[in-house]
Amino acid sequence: MRIASIVGTRPQFIKLAPVSVALRTQHEEVVIHTGQHYDYHMSELFFEELALPAPHYHLEIGSGSHGAQTGRMLEAIERVLMEERPDRVVVFGDTNSTLAGALAATKLHIPLAHVEAGLRSFNRSMPEEINRVATDHLSQHLFCPTETARQHLQHEGITCGVEVVGDVMYDILLQMQPGITAHTYTCLDTFKVKPGHYMLVTMHRAANTDNPKAMRSIARALNRLEMPILFPVHPRTRARMEQYGIAWKSHVHLSEPIGYLDMLTLESAAYRVLTDSGGVQKEAFLLGTPCVTLREETEWPETVSAGWNVLVGTDEKSIIEATGLPTPEAPQKQPFGTGDAAIRIARRL
């Protein structure tokens, strides 16, 4: 079977890695990179680190407003799909690249598979929520990472083609685990931090970066925390910080976005992770580091009910208080599968 995998952003390259390996053992795979992310540290670095073959098509769409960016992608993806005529299209997660891929495939009557189906924040002001709801309703194969995700689909009347396979990000994290252990000493030395004596921060959600009040409040909290802070900065966030003229105290160390192994290693050895990223919340949980989420809701409620993730939004005082909460008990069970999600996806397709 010929399968076209469509990706475009940092977390999608990571999700693609295990899926692509599994697909290629049984199928012919064509990888389409929309070019939504294009900086070296947001794209190529992940292809190198994860030993992903260069994409067959690089559409070089770049940045833009939601409509312009998604529209350009739709047109370019359609052209490739008409040429390649794959038997299935696979899309990942909830970005504009996901939505464009889903629309292009559906209009050409190519069966669509959605990896990470059924996640919901129930916040329709998030672009990602629109993208994931629309994609789920267009898909014929819905690969859910968790049982909660399956229930969300059921509530929306989607039961056909749904399978809980586990989370492909757990698959790849398990594969990276020996590397994390081996890399810890060098990594912490490079970043000049000691295990358990620093916090790791990431932030890129539009609700935080595009709202000066929210970003200033988060910045005030970070500036008041009495521990070194490592903050690899997403390009969107960097631009807004400069625009708002945010000043940082000397314990807050900003950097370019970092590689995946460095990121996992720093998450693993941090005292606390503070983030608005979906993937980072879940990785912190899986690596046993308490997480403070700079949002009001999460697509990964299992991390909250297990006691390892606290949703604080952007309030300065709440952020500071949450970092001081005691470390919770180790979770009884792990809700993200058994590390074979990608294999199950390839087999089902």
For residue 18, the partner it binds in ligand UD1, ligand UDP, none, with Cβ less than 5 to 8 A by kind, is: none
The closest of 56, 55, 162, 47 to 114, measured between CA atoms, is 162
Among 71, 127, 301, 307, binds ligand UD1 (CB under 6 A): 127
Residue 17 as a binder of ligand UDP (CB under 6 A): the answer is no
**Residue among 276, 260, 279, 272 nearest 325 (CA):** 272
SS3 assignment, position 162: strand
Per-residue contact string for residues 202-241; x = within reach of ligand UDP by CB under 6 A: x-x---------------------------x---------
Who's near 13: CB < 8 A, 6+ residues apart? 7, 43, 46, 47, 50, 52
Do the bridges between strand 199-202 and strand 272-275 make them parallel or antiparallel, or are there none, so unpaired?
parallel
Among the listed residues 37, 114, 152, 204, the single catalytic one is 204
Of 119, 103, 95, which is closest to residue 301 (Cα–Cα)? 119
Q: Say whether 204 is catalytic.
A: yes
Kindly tell me which residue out of 30, 76, 153, 258 binds ligand UDP, with binding defined by CB under 6 A.
258
Cβ 87 to ligand UDP shortest distance, Å:
28
- Kindly state whether residue 260 participates in binding ligand UDP, applying the rule CB under 6 A: yes
300, 148 Cβ separation under 8 angstroms: no
Give the binding range for ligand UDP (CB under 6 A) out of 53-61, 206-214, 275-283, 296-304: 275-283
How far, in Å, CA of 61 to CA of 101, rounded? 13
| 3-state SS, residue 15 | helix
Sole window of 7-15, 143-151, 182-190, 326-334 interacting with ligand UDP (rule: CB under 6 A): 7-15
- The binder of 36, among ligand UD1, ligand UDP, none, by C-beta within 5 to 8 A per type, is ligand UD1
Tell me whether residue 20 or residue 131 sits nearer to ligand UD1 (CB atom).
131
Residues 171/14/269/238 CA torsion (nearest 10 deg) = -160
| Residues making contact with ligand UD1 (CB under 6 A) | 9-11, 36-39, 42, 63, 94-96, 127-128, 204, 235-236, 239
